[in-house]
Every structure is written in structure tokens, then in C-alpha cells.
A and B are shown apart, each in its own frame.
Chain A
Amino acid sequence: MNTRSNHPLSRIEYQVMWNRLISVVEEQAQTLVRTAFGTATREAGDLSAGVYDTKGRMLAQAVTGTPGHVNSMAMSTGHVLDKVPITKMNEGDAFIVNDPWQGTGHLNDIVIVTPTFRRGKPVGLFACTLHVVDIGGRGIIGEAKQVYEEGIYLPITKIVDRGEMNEWLIDIIKANVREPIQVIGDIYSEIASNEVGGKRLVAMMDEFGLEHLDDLAKHILDHSREASLEAINRLPHGTYHNSMMVDGINGKPMELKAKLTIGPEGIDVDFAGSAGLVQLGINVPLCYTEAYTSFGVKCIVAPHVPNNAASLATIRVTAPEGCILNAKHPAPVAGRSIIGQMLPDVVFGCLQQAMPGGVPAEGTSCLWNVRLMGGMGRVDADPEMLKGATPYNVTGFHSGGTGARPKLDGLSATAFPSGVRNVPVEITETNAPVLVWSKEYRQDSGGAGEFRGGLGQVMEIETAEDMPFAISTSFDRVVYPPRGRAGGRNGTTGKVETRSGRTLPPKAQSTIPVGDRLIVSMPGGGGYGDPHKRPAKKVADDVARGLVSIEAAREYYGVAVDADGVLDEAETARLRTKAAAE
């Protein structure tokens, strides 16, 4: 087998096998998407799947909607192998873990790791993870002050033993979650999807006559490392700093600070100097910090190199203990995504200095999920009044605008860095007694620039059954807007309010009384480049489309235009010349 890698024909074969391995994890992930229950998994693609060699090195990962799992899941297989050496594993075993520090950052993510055997010998492992609808505890942004209050905590444990389901463990999980059928169903899906992966891997090894994956692993990892380093080494070596303010909690803003070093062996990102821990579940375990940081670096520097142990190893992430980006047990972490999703913007600010013109402006970045609740125990109202109210809890995944890109406008109402899809209004209204009266672009919210920031959106919501309802918010960019880049203006901050004029808090639960409406205005992305360089024709078009107001066109872009988008060229020339002179 040793000669195999040198023969030219074998090089073609290795490549075919590499492609096959990627297809195998896609099949594994598809099995999960089709069978999962949690809304986050099936509607939004909040899952991941990957294959590992017996040393625990990830060889291929399916491309799914969640950067948060990028290398957190990659590491969890290593943790399993540390606890249970491969020699102690048996055919038909599977392991479960939701430890936020050994899994993917919060208890709702359950990881399953399954060894694959061929002719009685372990040849590799499959792992997958998904977000279950409930894990017990006090909610994503709840009252929890410690991880103990966030739900059931599963250290690395055997869930299937030689094909036998560990029914004792299943019973314990069932007894600790609010939606036992769905959660157990999800765990079964994960086990099945790893089995599908294992079966395909064995078939592939049969077809190509492989006794082990060692040579193929070497081929994949060597080429990925080379390609990653080649991309990194095209950038000027050096150390770049950036700092970004986020809203934080209780009126206390937080600074996120990064030092990014580009060197011959890869990129190092350190978050020393960032804010400390808080007593709310928005703290981030390091594995999750690594995930969003690597994603941010990768999508700028080497988007085409597939994720695996070698490509991910070229991006190293550190943060001092006790900082919000390296929260230790038992800090609460259930809502770690709110801060985690901000990290690509922090990284972009560093990379901008190394590759001017290659990085977008800041965007909304954290999801603006509209989580609505009704019924007893969920709404702050007289229990007598809530008699007969429909109990519900629905989440609509929604987004503000993304930052403008060099040479392209930002995307309006589009998730980034998260890859989730929204939930249609008609589905939300079918699942819960609410009426969405409006869901439209938010005029002037996109930061002005030669390339305009993506627009946020405004949603206006009312109860449909004469009962008060509640919203549980977990929003950022309400105080600190997404910043523009290269002379582009900032995007507009978001806000949560009622039609009657009450401003609601961005990270808490609030009740909306009967007769009033909830209005959620989502942020717009930052602009890129001097707004006066935006062709007047494009500004006029934005005005005709109602994306930019006549006033904003004049004030920020120096363009005089009427509501139909008809340009006053003389006036525009005058405005722009005047601005240039100033």
C-alpha cells in the first residue's frame, strides 16, 4: 500500500476517494436533516456531520448551515477518544455528549460519536450534532446563573452498547426535557445518520481495496494544509488589532478585542483584553469561540479549502480564562451564539488591514429570532385572565442586513454568519395564534456607502386571540450599530417597541397586552466606501424602490432625486461638488 500514494494513477484514485468521502458525509447530514425534529435543525440547518480517522482527526465535514459547529464538533471526537480509547470500543457502540466544553458550546447541542468497523477492525469514526428543541433548564436567555440551571448535562457516555440501546439513559433524558418524544427522536436520527455514514465508508473501502484510512488521511490532510498555508501566505505577515463594542447587558457595553497574527505556519487569533464573564447565558466556551473565529477567517482567506483537521489547524484561537470568550464551567452559556456570531466582524476588522478591499463592512451578525409565547406561565398577566389562552412557544428565524461588500451592496434581511433559513409567516401563524401585520424592508437602515449596507426589516405582530402574549428577546446591535468601512456610514441600530410607544429591552422577556402590537425593527448593515462615489443612478434607483428616502439620498449621498427616482442632475452635481470642497 505504501507505493500507492506515489503512483500517478493512485493520485487520481485518492482524489476520487476524497470526493467520495465528502459525498459520504453529505449523505450522513442529509439523513439527519430529513429525520430531525428540532425546528433549528430541519428548517434552519442547525446541524453538522463529519468523518474521522481512528486517531480522531476529522477528514471531511458536510457543509451545513452552522458555523458554530465548524471545529467544535471536530474536537468532540478527540474528547471521546481521550476517555474511551478506540481499542476499548466495540462494533455497534455509540457515544453521546452535550457537555458545552466538549461538545458544541451549549447543552441543547447533542453530539453522537460512532466508531465504524470493517471485518471486525475499527477503521474510523462518524460524529454528528444537532440542536434539540428543549433540554430542560430555564431557556436560552433565561434566569440561569450557572450551567446547572440550563438543563440536563450529559458527559461522554455510551448510549448504544454493541447494538443495544441504553434504555436507562434514554429514560433519564426523557424525564428531564419538556419534549421527550422529539428529543429522543432526534437522538435516534443522529445514531441512524452515523450508521449510514459508516455503511458507506465500508462500501467505499471495499470498492477501493483499502485496509485502513491512514494513507488517504495523509493525502487529504497534507493537501489541505498546503492549500490553506498557500492562501494564508499570500497575505502580508504581521499582527493586526481590532476592537468592537457590543451592547452587553443591563446597559453595560462590552468590548471584544482581537489580535490576529499572520505567519508562515498559519493565523493566530487571541482575544486578550475582551470583556469578562456575565451572569447571563451569553458567555462563550472556547470551542465555540474557535468555531466562529475560524469561520470568519476561512470565508475571507481560504473559502474553497474544505474543513478538516489540517485546514482548521492552520487557524489557532486563544482567549484568556475568565474572559467572555473563554467561559469556564459552571458559567451559563445557553445563549452563546449572540456573542459568538459577532466574532467574524471582529476578525474582519483585523483582516481588513492585511487585505484592504477584501473584507465587508460590519453587519447585523447576530440573528434576530422572534420568539413568541402565550399561555399560563409564559406571559406576565393575571392567571385568571389567561384562562383559555392557547399555550405556545414559537420561534421565527429572522435577520437584519449584512454589511456592504467591496464592490457589492450588503444583503437585506439575510442571515450572516449564521446560515439559517427563515420560517414563513404563514407557518408561524398556523402554529400559533398570532397575526403578523407587516414584514417589510426598513427604509434607510442600510448604511450609506459607495456600496450600501443591506437593509433590516420591520415586523409588526399582534395576538390573534384576545390574549396577551410575550416575546423573549436575545438581540444585539441595539446600542452599537454595525460600522461602515472605507468611508461607508454605519448601519442603523435595531429596536424593539410597542405600537403604543413603549420601548422593550433587547435581552429579556416582555408581555404585549391585548390591543397593542409588537414592533421589531432589525438593524441594517454598514456601508462600504464613500457614499458620494455611489453612482447617482443607483441612488435614484434605491429611492424609486423605496429603500432610501429622498432626504437620505440628499443628505448622505449628495443626490437630488424625486420619489419616482427621477434625478435632478444639476442639483446633484452641485451637492456633490460642494461636499467634495468641504
Chain B
Amino acid sequence: MPPAISPDRVRHADQVRLAVDIGGTFTDVVLETPDARYSTKVLTTKAAPEDGVLDGMMRALKLGGIEPGQVGLIVHGTTLATNAIIERKGAKTALVTTKGFRDSIEMAQENRFEQYDIFIEKPEPLAPRTMRFTVPERIDAKGGVRLPLDEAAVEALAETLKAKGVEAIAIGFLHSYANPAHERRTAEILAAKLPGVRISISSEVCPEVREYERFSTTCANAYVQPLMARYLESLQSRARAAGFACPLLLMTSGGGLTTLETAVRFPIRLVESGPAGGVILSTWIADNMGIDRILSFDMGGTTAKICIIDDGKPMASRSFEVDRRYRFMKGSGLPVRIPVIEMVEIGAGGGSLAGVDPMKRITVGPESAGSDPGPACYRLGGTKPAVTDANVVLGRIDPDRFAGGSIKLDASLSRQALDTHVGTPLDLDTTLSAFGVSEVVEENMANAARVHAVERGAELEGRTLIAFGGGAPLHAARLAEKLGIADVLIPASAGVGSAVGFLRAPIAFEVVRSRFVRLSAFDPAAINTMFAEMAREATDVVKLGAGAAPIRISRSADMRYAGQGHEILVDLPDGPFTKDSVAELQKRFDAGYRALFNRVIPALDVEVVGWILKAEAPAPGRAAELPMAAAGESGAPAAVGTRTLFDPMLREFASVPVYARTALKPGQSMQGPAVIAEDETTTIITSGFTATLDPSGAIRLLARKAVLQEAAQ
């Protein structure tokens, strides 16, 4: 395969760019030219997703009057890897592991993720026991060889694997993060004997201590690799045949772009790229507007995702679970250790179903009506009330204009479903039932955000909420009220936010090493050597996509008090370490620990468990800027109609003005309660907020209190 990208071509990728986001239902395409942005949605073509992608790209080009040859760069994100795991449609995957450890990936953490439910089932590993094989070998915690690799056993195993028709192989040996020699040798032997079978080794995919998480990640990588390789290579050749001559970069879950080659090696890093795109967009908008503390809020049909962003940096982590099967609960999915943007995801979306539990409490989600049958008002046979039904009853959604009028909703079915499943058991009228459902779903999201903030030692108060995704603008104002947030932004084209975000992402690659180092025994030379090697590895990958663009290196470490169970992520200073660096490391650890836990523990040794290095080149092409129109207007725009809306603060219905988003001019402001309608979604301004159209095209809601304070100053 020729290199996916020739570096000198990327340099010119500053004119016309395409972003493609494949989701479960729709494939979103955004075309950006120096003067304009066009977007389109096509149905995702599951059997051959590249069909939908090509179709969507051609449509977007047509909107802009652009030829394929004029496109300088394609940026792509996809949920294909995630779906392959959720639907268990990946490759026939074998795990080759250390003798005696055949069951590590199935024993997992030996616990139950739900304490009181004795009927839970634990997630089935991607390599079942019949596909797990062991070979004699053993490396110890310091990387020493306790038992040499039995190469003859590996040779013999190759025959078994061939006979079993294995399509992908994951190799995971104990302590391979400390010494990868046995894994590499095993891969060599198997590769020679099994040409065409893709092999993932744990010391490359996830060189981190903790065997279960490392093996699970490696298996997941192997499991999706053949499929992703096939798809990406086919997409590339189809695009070339259609006349696209430009490079294709892939969006990763960590929020950076990577090359096709790297994506084929580590396809597991592509999971969750869609949500990452949304967060990148929030980050970029905040940067442009000079806002440094953000809560990003994305709400779709099934789930809501919330992310904390500080000083232009979304919270990062290397801990993620694919396919949480039990109420989106921690521990009910398969862990993958990859760089991810840290988000909390809860089962709260427009399709989430409402009911009443034995304590006579209204419950919402995580069960979802999905899009078929969908909420009761869709008229597709759903009889249970969903969040969307509550929004219809409360006047938040206009049944005649849903999705730009393409789907006619039946409000009487919403009322009926709410009466049957909420109103009757609780003796509430329809309106209060609907209000109860909306309050509960908003409270659930608020509580998830609060607990997440505590886990990460962050405060929510004083943040700006950036809301996107079809459901978020409906609930953003009320969520903000509950969280004590006074400032809400609803960016333009919130509906294709992820794809737009792809265009703002840097080209980045992160590498990690597990190596236990106590600060009391810090050896600067050894760490410098290790980081130099990591920097080489990461920049080699980034260069493929960034060409001669300047590459920035940033480093961080997972640190903890010696013996503690959880590590905290600490940014490391630039430049080589010396003997004196210990004091600086201690200082940074103390600061981080204090920020999280309000105190430090004196006289306890600190150790580094993991070392992380990220190489990053700025987003390809010309530095995009938020288009700023002059805020010439002031005062209120003309309403296009009125609607009867239930206000949560006033606790009653009011006839409120409806404004058309497309007709708003920068600077115009509107008092809540009011509604701003657009094709993709509706923004609800509660009585506590005043809305203004920002020069960037975003709707900005400011809490009345905050507005008054500003005026007084």
C-alpha cells in the first residue's frame, strides 16, 4: 500500500475541506470553502458505508459548486468500529496469552457491576475461551525473563490457528509493557506462518500495566481491524476513482486526527470519534470567544454526553468502555485503554422512555424508544411516553414543524401515553405529568454532571454551557438553572456539530509507557531516553499527516502516592529532566492533588506509574476563525408567531413569542419565556434567561440575574 498521504500535498490543504461523520442513522457531511459552509445529511448505508459517504460528499460538493479535484482535505470520523463491537460483527479473533492466564479477559475484575441485581450477566469477551490459547513464557514485573518463550509451541499453535480459520490475532503476555520481546517474537513467527492475518500485540496497542484492561484493548483492536482496514482502504480507492486527489485523515476518540495508515494499525482508537468532534467544536468556539471554563452538553435520541473543558483543553483520560449493556453502567462494557476525551454518558435522550417505579417516582430512561417505534407522537405504534412526548405537551416542540416539518407528530398520542403511564398512577394531570418527566430527565443530567465534576475535582458553577445535538437546546436553559450556570451558548449548525468539529481538530498522536518510578529514586537520564524514543514514535506518526507543519510535544504522567490505587494526570514541564526536576514533579503533583482533593499528604513518597507523550500539529489548513458579523442591531426581533409554553420557573403555561433563528440579526435580544425555532432543533428560553444572537451566529442565553449584574457594573 502506498503511503496514504504525501506530506507536501497536505500543505496546500487550506482551501476547500470536507468533513464526514458516519453515525448510526445518518452520515453528516460538511463542506467548508474559504467563503462558505455547506452541510448535508444522507442515510448511513450499513452494508457498505463508503456508498453513503461518497454520495454525501458529492451532494455537498454540488451545493458548493466544487469539483472533487479542488478538495484539499477530507476528515472522517465513524462509529463503524464501535458498532462492530456492539453488534459482535467483528473478525474471528484469537487471543494468544501467557500459559496460566487463559481466563484473564473473562474473569475481568471478578466483581458484579450492580450490587443488588443477582441476575446480571457479565460482558462476553470478544475472544471466547475456545479461541484463547496459551504458550509457555514468563516475564516478571521488572521486565526480566523468568521463562524463555517456547518458540516450538508458537510454531505448533500457528497450525491450530490456521485450522480454526482465525481472521485476527491478539497477543497479550504478562508484563509485556515492561519487556515486549516475547510478544514481538511471537508475532513474527505467527506472521510468517499466517500471511494475511492481522496481528495486534498488547505492548504496541496499549503498553500499560493491568493485564485485563491491556488484553481487552488488544482483543478489541484485533477484532475490528480486518473490517476497518477493508473499509478504509476501499473508501480511499473509491474516493480516488471519484476524482478526489487529496489526503484523508481520521478522527480519533482523543480529539486528534490521524493518518489512514495509523488508523489501520490502531482502529480501536477511532471509537467515540463522533462525540469527540462535538467537544472539539465547543472547545474551538470557546477559544474564539475567550471563554475558559466550559461544560459541553450533547443530547441526542438515546443518550446525553457531558464534558468538562478548562482553558481550551477538554478533560482527557485513557479509560473507556465500549458497549455498556446494563443501563450504561460502569463495568457493564468492555474496557479499552486508549486516549479519549473524558465524557459522562447517561441514558437521557429524546427517545428515553418514562414510567413510574414502586416508590411512585417518575423514572426516565435508560430504555429508549429509539427511532422505531420512537416516541408515541411519531405514530409508529409506540405507546410509552418518551422525553419527546413530554416536550410536545409542554409546547417545547411544535408538532407541525418537527425536523423541519418532515415528520408530522401527533400530540394527542403524546398526551395519551403520558396519562396512561405517568398521570394515572400518580394522579397528575397531563401537563404536570409532562413537566414531571422533563424535570426528572433534566435532574438526571444535572446529577450526572455533578457527580462527574466531583470525580474530577471540578466546579460547575460559573461555567458556560455549550449545547448541541438535536435535544440539547430544548433542555439547556433548565439544565443550566439546575447547575447554577448563568451562561448558555447554542452554536450555529448545532445539528452537524461533530462534523464541523472534525475540521477544527489538530493532527495528533499519543503514546504511553508504564514504568514505575518513585520520585525518591528518579533517574533523569533513563526517563529522558524513554521520552526521546516516545517523541520519535509519536512525531513519526504525526509527520505523515502534518508534513512540515510545526509539531508541538506535550508530556504528562500518571502519578500517585506510593501504594495508592488511583493515579492523577499531571502535566510535565518541557525539556529534558535533571536531578533537580524531582522538586518540580513533586510540586506539580501536589498542586494537582490539592486541586482534586483539597489537601496533600506530607512525608509520603510519590510514584509515577505511566508516562504519556503527545505530539500535535495544528488543525490542517488555514487557521479557521469564527466568522464575526458586526453586532449592529439591538432590541427585540419580530416574532413569527406565538406558542403556548409551560415555564418551569413560573410553573404555568404562557403564550410566548416564537422567533425564527434564520431571521435573527446579531445583537438582537429576546426575553424568556420564548422559543427560537429552526429546522434541526428548538431553543427554549425559560423565564430566567435573556437570549441574544451573538456575532458568531450562536444564540447566547444569559441568566436574568447575570444580565442585571452586568448592567449595574
Residues of A within 8 A of B (CB): 8-9, 11-12, 15-16, 18-20, 22-23, 26-27, 30-31, 33-35, 37, 39, 42-43, 63-65, 67, 181-182, 185, 188-189, 192, 196, 200, 223-224, 226-227, 230-231, 298-300, 302-306, 360, 397-399, 405, 407-408, 411-416, 419-422, 424-427, 429-431, 435-441, 457, 460, 464, 544-547, 565
Contacts and interface: CB of A to CB of B under 8 A. Distances in A.
Interface stretch (B406-414, B433-441, B629-637): B433-441
27 contacts: A9-B651, A12-B436, A15-B436, A26-B451, A181-B604, A182-B604, A185-B604, A192-B598, A224-B359, A227-B357, A299-B117, A304-B116, A397-B110, A405-B118, A414-B107, A414-B122, A421-B110, A421-B111, A424-B211, A430-B516, A436-B100, A437-B138, A438-B99, A438-B100, A439-B104, A440-B100, A460-B100
Nearest to B438: A12
A571 to B, nearest CB: 22
Nearest to B131: A545
Contacts of A397: 110
Nearest to B115: A419
Contacts of B212: 424
Contact of B565 (A18, A43, A416, A457): A43
Interface stretch (B306-314, B377-385, B442-450, B681-689): B442-450
B210 interface: yes
Contacts of B440: 15-16, 19
Nearest to A42: B565
Interface in B550-587: 561, 563-566
A34 B358 contact: no
A421 B213 CA distance: 13
A545 B111 contact: no
Nearest to A441: B103
B450 A34 contact: no
B110 A426 contact: no
List the 8 closest A-B pairs by CB distance, nearest first: A438-B100, A42-B565, A23-B447, A422-B110, A227-B358, A303-B116, A545-B129, A421-B109
Interface-central residue, B103, B450, B596, by most chain A CB under 10 Å: B103
Contact of B140 (A226, A300, A464): A464
A188 B599 contact: yes
Interface string B437-472: 001100110010011001101000000000000000
Given A416-B112, A546-B129, 18 more contacts: A8-B432, A15-B436, A15-B440, A26-B451, A27-B450, A34-B597, A227-B360, A230-B358, A399-B110, A414-B107, A425-B174, A425-B211, A427-B210, A439-B101, A440-B100, A440-B102, A441-B106, A464-B140
A420 B111 contact: yes
A20 B110 contact: no
B225 to A, nearest CB: 24
A388 to B, nearest CB: 17
Contacts of A12: 362, 428, 432, 435-436, 439
B508 to A, nearest CB: 28
Secondary structure of the B contact surface, majority rule: loop
B361 A18 contact: yes
A411 B112 contact: yes
Nearest to A546: B129
A192 B102 CA distance: 42
Nearest to B122: A411
A503 B529 CA distance: 49
Contacts of B138: 435, 437
B523 interface: no
Given A30-B455, A34-B597, A435-B146, A422 B107 contact: yes
Contacts of A565: 130
B128 A545 contact: yes
A230 B360 CA distance: 12
Contacts of B119: 405, 407-408
B521 interface: no
Nearest to B442: A16
Contacts of B55: none
Nearest to A133: B563
B450 A23 contact: yes
Nearest to B449: A23
B427 interface: yes
A9 B107 contact: no
B107 A231 contact: no
A310 to B, nearest CB: 10
Contact of B426 (A11, A67, A302, A419): A11
A192 B112 contact: no
Contacts of A464: 140, 146
B103 A413 contact: yes
B117 A419 contact: no
Contact of A223 (B101, B141, B359, B428): B359
A405 to B, nearest CB: 6
A95 to B, nearest CB: 20
Contact of A23 (B115, B175, B451): B451
B601 interface: yes
B540 interface: no
B121 interface: yes
B601 A185 contact: yes
Contacts of B447: 19-20, 22-23, 26
Contact of A544 (B115, B130, B360): B130
A414 B443 contact: no
A305 B566 CA distance: 31
B358 A231 contact: yes
B432 A9 contact: yes
Nearest to B116: A303
A31 to B, nearest CB: 6
Given A27-B454, A430-B209, A545-B128, A37 B563 contact: yes
A462 B173 CA distance: 18
B140 A415 contact: no
A419 to B, nearest CB: 5
B656 to A, nearest CB: 20
A438 B174 CA distance: 11
B603 interface: yes
Nearest to B147: A437
A360 B99 CA distance: 33
Interface in B116-154: 116-119, 121-122, 128-130, 138, 140-141, 146
Contacts of B599: 188, 192
A398 B138 CA distance: 22
A303 B115 CA distance: 9
A432 to B, nearest CB: 9
B130 A298 contact: no
A545 B103 CA distance: 11
A8 B209 contact: no
Contact of B103 (A182, A430, A440): A440
Contacts of B106: 412, 441
Contacts of B99: 438
A419 B597 CA distance: 25
Contacts of B604: 181-182, 185
